[in-house]
Structure 1
């Protein structure tokens, strides 16, 4: 079966537009917040749930035979083609009024993400990739994403959402990355990966990701010239402990550092 890349791209954009009609009216408003966890805090709001419902409707109409995995409403269907949705990646940022959350929609074939979108509708930015290109869209202008080209750890700028993610056995790995690099910035959620694709960061490292946290970002980074893998070097589309880098050379050095820390 030949993939219709134009239709996939159009569906990604239409689904993001549909999600924005649900998220933007609720952003920076007073929301009821539910906690998914018995211990700790993993917030979810009506913005998450209704945005995923809207995304699923667009995908199901365009590709009724494809499978869907979503953070809020689970899995449906069985196909070599799977759409992977995080309607509001960075709900903590969303409920704090910080515009570093995003809508993530990935498209995977046989378990590997080959197309994806990160939309930040409040500031009007869209990062999107299909096989052969990764682009940035804002204000009606489209430009190519291109990573920084950095190959060395020492001058690298590193993003992670919070060092507190690296608890237990992972703490030493974060300490090693922090010591080996020049600059570290926190609180970025999915936006950090998008900025890596745009050449503004060199590394992003995070543990314990779910597939809906990372699948959409994998092709955005790879098609911009970057590289991304789990800490053991395996494919990251399904989630896990993940590191993204501006170049394959930098990824190799990061993986070696993580392995020995």
Structure 2
């Protein structure tokens, strides 16, 4: 996933992505822990709430008005328009957490140019946190009102690494449970922090690896610029430079090849 330098266009796109996140938060946060939250089941047996739908509609409305020539690919309403410049949106990543009242959920907004994410914003309003990046501009977060630049860790030994594996069931369904056990046996600490939060912990230098299987582009696209601009690396689980392989391996960069070897030997 080769990046291009920051341009004025990307600066404007990042500003727009941050405004999209504001609009998303205004829809999602008031519905969190709402007694009348509407929940239904999709064809793949995953859940969707009225907040997921309203949040994606709000984002699409702004994009259709301000970027009519760009394409949109969202979890709830699919793809439309150009794939050259495509906004990739997960309105609520972590819907299962959202509907159970667990605050580890967030909106993921990315702009991909020819399939490569160049702008990414992740907003987790229930935690009062947001992360963002654009190619060439670094990776940032807010704690309160002050932006702070973030950096992946300098850990260079698997013995000192902390990893997030998402879920045992996910790795088992992918036929990769032996790989998970191998990884866990070579690192200092393994936990399943889950969903987009794991990638943000990685970008902040608090983890050294996150890996997932059976993921769509909207599950990971926004994390790519943030991890990359923080000095980390994201590929598919086999090392391919793509967001379309239905798997992902994110690391602090220094240990990427070591984790690839562990997972694929």
What TM-score does the superposition give when structure 1 sets the normalisation length?
Answer: 0.94
In structure 2, the residue matched to 1:29 is 34
SS of alignment partner, residue 244 of structure 1? strand
In structure 2, the residue matched to 1:211 is 217
SS of alignment partner, residue 202 of structure 2? helix
In structure 2, the residue matched to 1:47 is 51
1:37 Cα deviation (Å)?
4.0
Name the CA shift for 1:239/1:92 in 2 (closer, same or farther; >3 Å): farther
In structure 1, the residue matched to 2:92 is 88
User: Is contact 2:83–2:115 with CA below 8 Å preserved after alignment?
Assistant: no
Aligned residues: 256
Which runs of 4 or more aligned residues in structure 1 lie more than 3 Å from their structure 2 counterparts after TM superposition? none
Given candidates 57, 60, 68, the residue that maps to 1:56 is: 60
1:56 Cα deviation (Å)?
1.0
Tell me the alpha carbon deviations over residues 139-181 of structure 1, each in whole angstroms, 9 at most, x when there is no partner. 2101111011222222111113211101242111111111111
SS of alignment partner, residue 246 of structure 2? strand
User: Is contact 1:160–1:189 with CA below 8 Å preserved after alignment?
Assistant: no
In structure 2, the residue matched to 1:119 is 123
In structure 2, the residue matched to 1:173 is 179
1:24 Cα deviation (Å)?
0.7
1:114 Cα deviation (Å)?
1.2
Tell me the alpha carbon deviations over residues 30-83 of structure 1, each in whole angstroms, 9 at most, x when there is no partner. 322111246xx4111011111000011122222110011000000010241110
In structure 1, the residue matched to 2:4 is none
Distance 2:139 2:231 in 1: 9
Tell me the alpha carbon deviations over residues 185-210 of structure 1, each in whole angstroms, 9 at most, x when there is no partner. 21421001011001111110111110
What TM-score does the superposition give when structure 2 sets the normalisation length?
Answer: 0.92
Distance 2:18 2:245 in 1: 23
1:123 Cα deviation (Å)?
2.0
In structure 2, the residue matched to 1:191 is 197
Output the aligned Cα RMSD.
Answer: 1.4
In structure 2, the residue matched to 1:161 is 166
Distance 1:230 1:79 in 2: 20
1:98 and 2:102 correspond: yes
Given candidates 248, 255, 260, the residue that maps to 2:260 is: 255
SS of alignment partner, residue 155 of structure 2? coil
In structure 2, the residue matched to 1:228 is 234
In structure 2, the residue matched to 1:18 is 23
Distance 2:152 2:215 in 1: 22
Tell me the alpha carbon deviations over residues 209-256 of structure 1, each in whole angstroms, 9 at most, x when there is no partner. 100000000010000000111112112322522110012x30110001
